């Protein structure tokens, strides 16, 4: 069975955080998982590669980007939206 | 200890192909950042840069030279010719043995790497030109300068990312001050505005797609530039004795390492370098009238740099001026401190402070006098030039009016 977007995003974040995916909860923040700015940029790169999407994200001002990184759930939702908008 | 004079300067960058043109652009607050004109631009998400336009290597070099000179070497040679001509020095005799060259570059011959990787990977060729290695090596520019001007003393290159030029000029300063050299050509060069060079920077997601706006609340990243600047650092008494025009005096230098993070800057590391340069120059903080900032236009650098300046200078931080000329010529990476030293010389010699252009909104975390958008006339006696590199390597120079 194909992995869901949620499972894949959680797996990517878990790998960065050096955690088991089961320990990455939807309400976790990247900060609470111990992911710093470099880890964030690497996670976004991994997400882009996994889903063949381009994530609008500027490290200078993450809060101003159109990509909500406030929690794991918000990241999943943003990735789902980008995947849905992907040209067929 | 000997005093150290600057007796020559040369440059090529996005603003002009020489020093007078560059200083004129600084005075006018002109922006040299444009749409890039490079191969495969359409595959880049970052499409602007401080590119040197109207560059025709064949005007300056013959075919045999061009085969050996990457663009970063070409830029260096052009800048050095201007600097040496201005200094009036001739290194053909004994002076050549007492003189050398230290140059900064982060990437060296990036265009040569890029072109030849294309040839073997993309075009499937199995043979490259025999001079690829001597063309791309980081020390190529230093070596070609030594050959062109007969510099037979210390000669090497320094690679400390965005602080390369300041480290190079700091070492040149120390050599002349200690008496181990009479004169040094020093500065730096960078030319990585090619597909691979920009693609690598895109990855970090710290690049702006529209403009470099240091210290402005709405800044959104750095913009790469290219070019070179080269200076003649000369024993002060030697310069005086021959009646040379002294543009400025190099008074102090300090370097520190943050020893903490590979990309995030540290206020403490920056502050220790600034304070160290003042101590080395035996200058008190309240004598400093102007600081040429590292001022990359990234969120992290600009607020950290302002906090470091506030820490070192206390109340005087509100009286001094600090500007980033990267807003005009872009970030020349390993060559940036060299081009920015021109703004320091202009401040000391001409009494004109180069502005930070593109400034639109005050940022409470950068609440210093950043000389927004318009150059300013002001007499200053002491200036600093900051450079804070990825890797946490900081290098600050202190200059005094001649």
pLDDT tens, position by position, B84-127: 999 999 999 999 999 999 999 999 999 999 999 999 999 999 99
Q: Taking 70 as the threshold, does the pLDDT of residue B261 lie above it?
A: yes
Query: Catalytic residue at B331?
Result: yes
- Phi, psi at residue B141, to the nearest 5°? -65, -45
Distances (CA, A) of A36 to A40, A55, B63, B180, B376: 6, 18, 50, 45, 40
CA-closest candidate to residue B355, choices B26, B19, B21, B56: B26
Contact residues for B118 (Cβ-Cβ < 8 A; gap 6+): none
**Where does a domain end: B185, B214, B241?**
B241
Q: Which of B294, B306, B329, B366 is catalytic?
A: B294
Query: Which structure tokens are listed for B195?
Result: 């597909």
- Cβ of B263 and A61 within 8 Å? no
Contact residues for B42 (Cβ-Cβ < 8 A; gap 6+): none
Q: In the prediction, which pLDDT does A88 show? A: 67
Residue B53 lies in a domain: yes
Q: What confidence tens digit (pLDDT) does each residue in B182-195 have?
A: 999 999 999 999 99
Q: What angle do CA B10, B347, B291 make, to 5 degrees?
A: 100
Give the chain B residue nearest A60 (alpha carbons): B299
Q: Which of B167, B306, B331, B366 is catalytic?
A: B331
Nearest neighbour of B220 by CB, restricted to A37, A41, A60: A60
- Say which DSSP state B257 is in: E
Q: Are residues B189 and B306 in the same domain?
A: no
Distances (CA, A) of B159 to B103, B111, B257, B323, B389: 9, 17, 14, 25, 10
Q: Cα–Cα distance between B69 and A46 in angstroms, integer?
A: 38
CATH number reported for the structural domain that contains residue B213 in this entry: 3.40.47.10
Q: Cα–Cα distance between B274 and B249 in angstroms, integer?
A: 17
Q: Taking 70 as the threshold, does the pLDDT of residue A2 lie above it?
A: no
Query: Catalytic residue at B194?
Result: no
Query: Catalytic residue at B294?
Result: yes
Q: Are residues B174 and B269 in the same domain?
A: no
Q: What angle do CA B203, B208, B211 make, to 5 degrees?
A: 155
Q: H-type helices in B88-131, by residue range?
A: 110-117
Q: H-type helices in B179-325, by residue range?
A: 195-204, 236-241, 267-281, 299-313
Q: In the prediction, which pLDDT does B10 show? A: 98
Nearest neighbour of A59 by CB, restricted to B45, B205, B219: B205
Residue B332 lies in a domain: yes
Please, which residues bridge with residue B389 across strands? B393
Q: Are residues B116 and B95 in the same domain?
A: yes
Segment (H or E) for B230: strand B227-235
Q: Are residues B149 and B93 in the same domain?
A: yes
Distance in Å, alpha carbon of B222 to nearest chain A alpha carbon: 9
Residue B246 lies in a domain: no
Tell me if chain A has a CB within 8 Å of the CB of B203: yes
| Residues of A with Cβ-Cβ distance to B219 under 8 angstroms | 60
Query: Which structure tokens are listed for A4?
Result: 């869901």
Distances (CA, A) of B374 to B25, B210, B391: 11, 20, 33
Q: Cα–Cα distance between B319 and B328 in angstroms, integer?
A: 24
Q: What confidence tens digit (pLDDT) does each residue in B9-60 have?
A: 999 999 999 999 999 999 999 999 999 999 999 999 999 999 999 999 999 9
- Phi, psi at residue B146, to the nearest 5°? -60, -40
Q: Cα–Cα distance between B21 and B344 in angstroms, integer?
A: 16
Distance in Å, alpha carbon of B299 to nearest chain A alpha carbon: 5
The total number of structural domains that make up chain A: 1
Please, which residues bridge with residue B225 across strands? B50
Cβ neighbourhood burial of A38 (10 Å; 0-12, 13-18, 19+): middle
**Where does a domain end: B241, B261, B294?**
B241
Cβ neighbourhood burial of B149 (10 Å; 0-12, 13-18, 19+): buried
- Say which DSSP state B200 is in: H
Q: Are residues B298 and B267 in the same domain?
A: yes
Once rounded to an integer, what is the mean pLDDT over residues A64-86?
Answer: 91
Q: Are residues B276 and B208 in the same domain?
A: no
List all residues of chain B from 242 to 301 with a beta carbon under 8 Å from chain A: 262-264, 298-300
CA-closest candidate to residue B172, choices B189, B151, B149, B155: B155
**Where does a domain end: B223, B241, B259?**
B241
Q: What confidence tens digit (pLDDT) does each residue in B333-357 have?
A: 999 999 999 999 999 999 999 999 9
Residue B158 belongs to what domain range? 4-241
| Residues of A with Cβ-Cβ distance to B220 under 8 angstroms | 58, 60-61, 64
Once rounded to an integer, what is the mean pLDDT over residues B264-274?
Answer: 97
Nearest neighbour of A59 by CB, restricted to B45, B206, B262: B206
First to last CA, chain A: 21
Q: What confidence tens digit (pLDDT) does each residue in B290-335 have?
A: 999 999 999 999 999 999 999 999 999 999 999 999 999 999 999 9
Banded model confidence at residue B233, pLDDT cuts 50, 70, 90:
very high
Do residues B340 and B366 make contact, with C-beta atoms less than 8 angstroms apart?
A: no
| Residues of A with Cβ-Cβ distance to B361 under 8 angstroms | none
CA-closest candidate to residue B399, choices B356, B349, B331, B325: B349
B337-369 core/surface letters (b: 16 or more CB in 10 A; e: else): bbbbbbbbbbbbbeebbbbbbbbeeebeebebb
Once rounded to an integer, what is the mean pLDDT over residues B72-85?
Answer: 98
Q: Are residues B115 and B230 in the same domain?
A: yes
CA-closest candidate to residue A6, choices A25, A31, A30: A25
CATH number reported for the structural domain that contains residue A73 in this entry: 1.10.1200.10
| Residues of B with Cβ-Cβ distance to A58 under 8 angstroms | 205-206, 220-221
Tell me if chain A has a CB within 8 Å of the CB of B219: yes
| Residues of B with Cβ-Cβ distance to A37 under 8 angstroms | 263-264
Residue A71 belongs to what domain range? 5-84
Average pLDDT, chain B: 97
Percent of chain B with pLDDT over 70: 100
Banded model confidence at residue A86, pLDDT cuts 50, 70, 90:
confident
The total number of structural domains that make up chain B: 2
- Say which DSSP state B314 is in: G
Q: Are residues B290 and B187 in the same domain?
A: no
């Amino acid at each position: 069975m194909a992995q869901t977007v949620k499972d894949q995003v959680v797996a990517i974040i878990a790998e960065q955080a050096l955690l088991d995916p089961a320990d990455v909860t939807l309400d976790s923040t990247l900060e609470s998982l111990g992911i710093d700015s470099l880890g964030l940029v690497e996670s976004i790169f991994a997400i882009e590669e996994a889903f063949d999407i381009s994530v609008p994200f500027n490290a200078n001002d993450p809060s101003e980007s159109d990509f909500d990184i406030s929690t794991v759930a918000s990241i999943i939702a943003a990735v789902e939206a980008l995947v849905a908008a992907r040209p067929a | 200890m000997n005093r150290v004079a600057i007796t020559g300067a040369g440059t090529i960058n996005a603003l002009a192909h020489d020093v007078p043109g560059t200083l004129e652009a600084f005075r006018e607050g002109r922006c040299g950042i444009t749409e890039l004109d490079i191969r495969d631009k359409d595959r880049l998400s970052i499409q602007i840069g401080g590119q040197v336009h109207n560059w025709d290597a064949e005007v300056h070099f013959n075919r045999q030279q061009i085969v050996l000179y990457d663009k970063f070497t070409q830029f260096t040679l052009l800048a050095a010719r201007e600097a040496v001509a201005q200094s009036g020095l001739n290194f053909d005799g004994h002076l050549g043995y007492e003189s050398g060259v230290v140059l900064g570059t982060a990437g060296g011959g990036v265009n040569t790497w890029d072109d030849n990787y294309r040839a073997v990977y993309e075009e499937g060729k199995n043979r490259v030109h025999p001079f690829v290695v001597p063309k791309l090596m980081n020390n190529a520019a230093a070596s070609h300068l030594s050959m062109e001007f007969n510099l037979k003393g210390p000669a090497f290159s320094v690679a400390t990312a965005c602080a390369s030029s300041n480290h190079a000029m700091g070492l040149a300063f120390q050599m002349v001050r200690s008496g181990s050299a009479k004169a040094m050509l020093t500065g730096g060069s960078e030319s990585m505005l090619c597909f691979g060079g920009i693609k690598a920077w895109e990855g970090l997601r710290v690049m702006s797609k529209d403009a470099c706006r240091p210290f402005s609340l709405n800044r959104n990243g750095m913009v790469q530039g290219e070019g070179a600047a080269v200076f003649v650092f000369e024993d002060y008494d030697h310069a005086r004795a021959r009646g040379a025009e002294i543009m400025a005096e190099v008074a102090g230098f300090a370097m520190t390492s943050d020893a903490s993070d590979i990309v995030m800057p540290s206020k403490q590391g920056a502050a220790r370098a600034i304070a160290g340069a003042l101590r080395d120059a035996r200058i008190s903080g309240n004598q400093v009238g102007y600081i040429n900032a590292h001022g990359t236009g990234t969120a992290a650098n600009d607020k950290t740099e302002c906090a470091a300046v506030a820490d070192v200078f206390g109340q005087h931080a509100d009286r001094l001026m600090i500007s980033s000329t990267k807003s005009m010529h872009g970030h020349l990476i390993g060559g940036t401190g060299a081009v920015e030293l021109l703004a320091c010389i202009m401040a000391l010699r001409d009494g004109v402070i180069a502005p930070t252009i593109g400034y639109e909104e005050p940022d409470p975390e950068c609440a210093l006098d950043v000389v927004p958008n318009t150059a300013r006339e002001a007499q200053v006696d002491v200036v600093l030039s900051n450079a804070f590199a990825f890797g946490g390597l900081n290098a600050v120079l202190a200059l005094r009016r001649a």
